[in-house]
Structure 1
Amino acid sequence: MVEFAALTYGLLASVILSAAQRNSKMARPHPPLLLYLGYLLCGLSAGAALGLGYIILTRFIGH
C-alpha cells in the first residue's frame, strides 16, 4: 500500500512540476487547477514531514 502511495505521489509531483516548468519557459500564466494541485502537493509534503518528525520525536526522545 505504501508503494502505491509513493508511486502516485511521485507521478503527481512529476506532472505538476513539469507543467509548471513548461508554462514558465513559455511565459504563460499557470491555470488555476495547476496552482491548486501544486499547493495540495506542498501541503501534503509539509504534513508528511511534520507527522514523521512527530513520530520520530515521540519514539526516540520519549524513551
Structure 2
Amino acid sequence: MLEFAVFTFGMLASFVLSGLGRNKKARRANPPMLHYMGLVLMGFSGALGVMLLGYAAALAVGA
C-alpha cells in the first residue's frame, strides 16, 4: 500500500512540475487546477516532513 502511495505521489509531482516548467518556458499562465495541485503537493510534502521530523525527535528522546 505504501508503495502505491509513493508511486502515485511521484507521478503527480512529476506531472505538475513538468507542466509548470513547460508553461514557464512557453511564457504562458498556468491553469488554476495545475497551480492548486502544486500547492496541495507542496503542503503535503511539508506536512509529511514535519511529521517525520517529530517522529524522529520522539524516537531520539525515547518517548
Say how many residue pairs are matched.
Answer: 63
Which amino acid in structure 2 is aligned with residue 47 of structure 1?
Answer: A
Structure 1 residue 13 displacement after superposition: 0.4
Q: Which residue of 2 aligns with 1:4?
A: 4
In structure 1, the residue matched to 2:41 is 41
TM-score of the superposed pair, with normalisation by structure 2: 0.95
Where do 4+ consecutive residues of structure 1 move more than 2 Å?
none
1:26 partnered with 2:7:
no
Deviations 1:18-63 (A, max 9, x none): 0000000100000100110000000000000000001000111235
Q: Give the Å deviation of 1:14.
A: 0.3
Name the amino acid aligned to 2:54. Answer: Y
Residue identity over aligned pairs, in percent, reads 40
Give ranges in structure 2 of 5+ residues lacking alignment: none
SS in structure 2 at match of 1:39:
helix
TM-score w.r.t. the length of structure 1 is 0.95
